[in-house]
Chain A
Amino acid sequence: MLTAPVLSLGNSLPAATAVALTTTSLARLGGLDIAVIVVYFAMVMWIGYYLKSRANTSEEFFMAGREMTAWIAGLSFVSANLGSLELMGWAGSAYQYGILAAHWYWIGAIPAMLFLGIVMMPFYYVSKTHSVPGYLKLRFGQGSSTVAAVSFAFMTILMSGVNMFSMALVMKVVLGWNITFSIVVSSLAVAAYVALGGLRSAIFNEVLQFVLIWGGALLVPILGMIDAGGWTGLKNRILTNFQGQDYLHLWRGLGHFHDNPMGVHWTGIIFGLGFAISFGYWTTDFLVVQRVLAANSLRSARMAPVIGSFFKMAVPFIVILPGILGLVVLHNPDGSLMHLVGENIVSAHPGAGLHSYNEVLPLMLVRYCGPGLLGLGITALIAGFMSGMAGNVSAFAAVWTYDIYQPMLRRNARDEHYVTVGRWATVLGVVISIGAAYLVMNAQGIMDYVQALFSFFIAPLLGAILMGMFWKRATRQGGFWGLLIGTVTSVSLWAWVHFDPSALRYVALSPDARDMAENMYRALWSLSITVIITFVVSLFTKPRDAGELNGLVYGATVLPAEDPVAFYKSELFWAAIAVVVFVALNVMFW
């Protein structure tokens, strides 16, 4: 069984749907398609080799010299999150649940991205931290930092392996490629260009991959809409073929858990997804925050997530729309409407020609794209995987070197030494990822556990960071115990439901709740516990002097003055525009 991401919060969050392993491939590549893929690999290697000379110091290797413009940091910020499994998993979810899946791109991302840019970025940037665990060290001391760094490094690299295996399995399903071939070629390419050029190379390639993802995937919804007869035609065909089912409204069916196929409630979407999970991922996961820390000024660092938010809002056009279009345009060879099914049904009927939900994007690609364009679409999937993996290993290398190796193993080495450690950490990260991929291949049952594991850390980390950043009274002991107990709470709630499914009525507040609702409410509970524990422990322990909190805490920090700019170049102006577009989209598809 192959599991693909169901949350749009990167390749780092839990999964629920699956791509079935079929015996025959969906597509066959021609010479032109192969050439398109080869050109892509040549280009990424060229970029890595070219940037090799610009990754000599630790600041250059780990932070790209802090020279990225707002546009580059912003596109990289979104691209690191836009993995191929993400594309396929969410297209499959859109086929299953309709436009409800867009919540993970809109309310599940946009408010958090804007909050990061406008409110939190000044503290990350002014403190000159190299990582999120690094910020925790400055604010709460080594204990909290170590908990966050070790859990992040371990889970990031493990998740990278899980995604690597999933990607290779997708290539086997879609193209019939050998799994080892896919793993070795793609991971070696990532290892080479990140080890050579460091974060700058990862970021440059992520921008390139972002353009490629759009170039390869955008044609599918365009042709799909023509095929379906436009938006009106799509609506009419859904009404005709799926009477009584609502695929095109975001909020109308969220009044009760049993009113929508996802089994979620609007409170879970707003507070669980829109706050605990989304803010946890977009504002504290170093995988994405690292891209913004590489910006060339505070203004660029604040503008980057704002720019990214516009592209994030547009992603449903190439992910959600193709999934919904698949409901009405995909047909069997006999002309009847094709019905995609769950992975368990496909597995139970081998040879029946069934396809699973997550195959909707490749099926759409094969439907519309001939030679060349098919290669471009496949390259977009490969690019998505590589950008996600590069994000994982570059973040791993930085956290390993700065937050684990330097404070615990070798404190006062020369700068060149840490660059060397970073390069080897990159290679080592890829090697461990490959090992994790084969581990998963041989014991696929652990995949769900691995993906659940990563989700345990996100919401508690958000609680600790928010308390540290916005409450001067929060103490080291408060931060440490809040983070630890919040994480234990998250694990315990998961285990409770895992071993006693009826506990869902307590964790998710309703017996009608389903898996996704459980994720949302579990995040909300663990975040709340973290905040409460941090608050209580802080009240009974000695706070730090206000002077020590400059650059770290709201109300104790003097932000550097920036040159005034015209209003249309201001991050506040564009954040306001983003809010208007965000609200308009939600109203439009209410």
Chain B
Amino acid sequence: MEGSREIPIWFFIGVLLSIYGVMIFGYGLWELITGHLAHVVLARLHAPVWWGAIMLVLGLFYLVRFRPGR
């Protein structure tokens, strides 16, 4: 993107979002399965599941789309 053979910033963003997506989605799944909900308002909406999933999907998209050497 900026100059030859440079890893684009969007790839770094993909890496970060993917890692966060796995961590938060994973925790959300654990909450969902075990029923141990965090003591927060609207916990029944399982925000970690869908917010983590959104981050993971976006992260994977950027990872693939802007992978080095593409």
Which A positions have Cβ atoms within 8 angstroms of B?
32, 35-36, 39-40, 43, 46-47, 50, 54, 64-65, 67-69, 72, 200, 204, 207-208, 211-212, 215, 219, 223, 226-227, 296, 329, 366-373, 376
Contact = CB atoms under 8 A, between A and B. Distances in A.
Contact of B47 (A208, A212, A223): A223
A216 to B, nearest CB: 9
B2 to A, nearest CB: 4
Contacts of B38: 370-371
Contacts of A367: 40-41
Contact of A370 (B2, B12, B17, B40): B40
7 contacts: A40-B16, A43-B15, A67-B3, A223-B45, A329-B41, A370-B39, A373-B24
Contacts of A373: 24, 47-48, 51
B24 A368 contact: no
Interface in B1-44: 1-3, 6-7, 9, 12-13, 15-17, 19-20, 23-24, 27-28, 31, 37-43
Contacts of B37: 370
Interface residues of B, number: 31
Tell me what chain B mostly uses at the interface: helix, strand, loop, or mixed: helix
Q: SS class of chain A's interface: helix, strand, loop or mixed?
A: helix
A54 B7 CA distance: 12
A333 B12 CA distance: 42
Nearest to A60: B3
B3 A65 contact: yes
Nearest to B62: A211
Given A43-B15, A227-B42, A373-B47, A207 B23 contact: no
A226 B20 contact: no
A72 B9 contact: yes
Identify which of A43, A223, A373 gathers the most chain B CB atoms within 10 Å of its CB: A373
B12 A226 contact: no
A366 B41 CA distance: 9
Nearest to B19: A39
A40 B23 CA distance: 13
A47 B27 CA distance: 27
Contact of A369 (B12, B15, B16, B40): B40
Central interface residue in A226, A367, A368, by most chain B CB within 10 Å:
A368
A47 B17 CA distance: 15
A50 B7 contact: yes
A54 B47 CA distance: 40
B40 A54 contact: no
User: Can you list the 5 inter-chain pairs with the closest CB atoms, starting with the nearest?
Assistant: A370-B38, A372-B24, A67-B2, A204-B9, A372-B27
Contact of B43 (A36, A69, A370): A370
